[in-house]
Copies of this chain bind each other. A is one copy, B any other.
Amino acid sequence: MEWTRATRYRPYAKWSARQLLSLQAQAANSPYQMRYHIRPQSGLLNDPNGFSYFNGCYHVFYQAFPFGPVHGMKSWFHLESPDLVHWDNRGLAIEPGPDPDSYDNAGAYSGSAMAIGNQLFLMYTGNHRTDDWVRIPYQCGAWMDADGRVTKWDHYLFKNPAQFSEHFRDPQILKHDGLYYCLLGAQKADDKTGHLDLWKSADLKEWEEVGIVDFGVANAGYMIECPNLVFVDGKAVLVFCPQGLDKQVAAYDNIYPNMYVVGDDFDFVHAKLVNPSPMKNLDDGFDVYASQCFNAPDGTAYAISWVGLPDSTYPTDTENWANCLSQVKELHLVNGHLLQQPVKAMTSLRRSAGEAQVANQTTIVPASNNQYELAVKIAANQQGSLQLAAGEGYHLDLNFDTAAGQLTIDRGPSGASVNADYGTTRQTMLPAGHELFLRVFVDHSLCEIFVNDGAHVFTLRFFAPDQATAIRMSTEGLDYQAHYWPLQQM
């Protein structure tokens, strides 16, 4: 397939069922495929959308291009879960177009969801292209009923005012003091700088701009994508993706980072994060972007991330599919620092058959199924490497020094190269001279490493050879304890 504009933006009705069935089977059968994470049924997955609680269940959607490993005519695919772990695929929820003059004629782009009455309100950016391929970003609405039927609104909610360029998208719907609010990522038309823009409405129909959000950052690059306001342990947290951010403002290694800022509160009237912290990187790994956060009815804050990056390629592109979502992470704040932890129900994936406990020897598991959870406690003042997906010259390297307080992930030796232009290592500093606790989730080509109860998370893809499945320590005599559980698919 040659990915021209015509093939990327071909209407779904012009692809054949045979092509789709073949792509679905190819994605499902890949040895790299995730088995307990949300993954594309075919083609490309990107941003999580509409992460919400409705009708007694959690819901999440994802951006999809079902016909190949490229960004093209995007739709929303829907999943439902009772526990944030066991997700049930509900299929295509928002189809772009299908009329040539639809507000979303070139893609139903990212957005959010909120339960209102007995329906779920979906708010998203209609990526409209004129005949001359000029983009108009319409902010659109749709209702989803309890049976998953989606009805798009006839009218759009608003579009970009003159001060913003065509880069005006990713609405997060919020409710505060009886009013609806909407937070968007935006680029100013004149100086091409990235901002967050706040809007308000009494009825979801008539919208008014509140203004550009002041969150204490003077220069956030040329665009901000995927903004979220979420309340964590009584504080207001903004999570967002600045593009072209100066690394002096906040350090990062990936092509674009996923950042957060913590405030004491959020002032909706003045569009202002109160007493904002400095900007911090959300994930210390290689592949997290477009994280979406929401507060469940009980107030708990959850996040889910796209594991994939814009303007990047992955080894599964040759298999016509790409990317996945992270597991859901529960958010807490300790001294202004975000903790991200696996949700409780993740333990329900543990299979007792094959479970193992090991201490102080080099081999932890001689051969795994690369579908497991591993909990490792490493004593203070140890230096070595925990090697995952190890075998014949390959391994994913978790290099630790609990004397100096350092953890370095090196995916260079793990197999097929992934975006190596941005480096093969990621590092974080830890308390020196302290025990290190790692809770590691491996799902074939995905690895999520929760460090010290979520004080740091490394999320990354790696592409190991088939037989590389051992788990071991690099050197003899290390003082550690490990617990290994094979995990069920979901």
Interface residues in chain A, defined as those with a beta carbon under 8 Å from any beta carbon in chain B: 11-22, 24-25, 27-31, 35, 66-67, 78, 82, 86, 88-93, 95, 98, 147-149, 348, 351, 488-490
In the complex, residue of chain B having the shortest beta-carbon distance to the beta carbon of A42:
B91
B24 touches A92 (CB 8 A): yes
Q: How far is the CA of A482 from the CA of B20 in the complex (A)?
A: 46
Contact sample, A vs B, 25 pairs, CB 8 Å cutoff: A11-B18, A12-B16, A12-B21, A13-B17, A13-B18, A13-B19, A14-B16, A17-B19, A18-B95, A21-B66, A21-B91, A21-B92, A21-B95, A22-B92, A24-B91, A25-B78, A25-B90, A25-B92, A25-B93, A25-B148, A28-B88, A28-B148, A29-B147, A29-B149, A348-B351
**Given A17-B66, A28-B90, A348-B351, 16 other A-B residues pairs in contact with their CB atoms under 8 A:** A12-B17, A15-B16, A15-B17, A16-B16, A17-B17, A18-B95, A21-B91, A25-B91, A25-B148, A28-B89, A28-B91, A30-B147, A31-B147, A82-B489, A86-B488, A86-B489
Assembled-state Cα–Cα distance A17/B95 (Å): 12
Q: How far is the CA of A287 from the CA of B490 in the complex (A)?
A: 28
Contacts of A20 in B (CB 8 A): 17, 20-21
- Beta-carbon nearest neighbor of A75 in chain B: B21
Q: Which 8 A-B pairs have the closest CB atoms?
A: A25-B91, A29-B148, A15-B17, A17-B20, A13-B18, A12-B18, A21-B92, A24-B91
Which residues of chain B come closer than 8 Å to A24, judged between CB atoms?
91-92
- Tell me the smallest distance from the CB of A79 to a CB of chain B, in Å: 9
Residues of B with C-beta under 8 A to A92: 21-22, 24-25
CA A348 to CA B348, docked complex, whole Å: 9
| A489: B residues at CB distance < 8 A | 82, 86, 88
Helix, strand, loop or mixed for chain A's interface? mixed
Collect the chain B residues with CB atoms within 8 Å of residue A88's CB: 28, 35, 489
The answer to whether A91 and B12 touch (CB under 8 A), given A17-B19, A20-B21, is: no
**Complex: A207 Cα to B488 Cα, angstroms:** 42
For A13, the chain B residues whose CB sits under 8 A away are 16-19
**What's the Cα separation between A432 and B147 when bound, in Å?**
46
Return the chain B residue nearest A150 by Cβ.
B25
Instruction: Give the residues in chain B near A28, CB-CB below 8 Å.
Output: 88-91, 148
Which B residues are CB-close (under 8 A) to A29? 90-91, 147-149
- Contact check, B18 vs A15: say whether CB atoms are below 8 A apart: yes
Q: Which B-chain residue is minimally distant from A19 (CB atoms)?
A: B17
Contacts of A67 in B (CB 8 A): 17
> What distance in Å separates the Cβ of A98 from its nearest Cβ neighbour in chain B?
7
- The docked-state distance in angstroms from the alpha carbon of A67 to that of B21 is 12
Give the shortest distance, in Å, between A234 (CB) and chain B (any CB).
27
CA distance A388 to B18 in the complex (A): 41
Q: Give Cα distance in the complex from A98 to B17, angstroms.
A: 13
A254 to chain B, nearest CB (A): 31
Which residues of chain B are within 8 angstroms of A11 by Cβ–Cβ distance?
A: 18
Instruction: Name the distance in Å between A197's Cβ and chain B's nearest Cβ.
Output: 33
In angstroms, Cα B67 to Cα A88, docked, is 21
Docked complex Cα distance between A67 and B16 (Å): 12
A78 to chain B, nearest CB (A): 8
Nearest CB of B to A372, in Å: 13
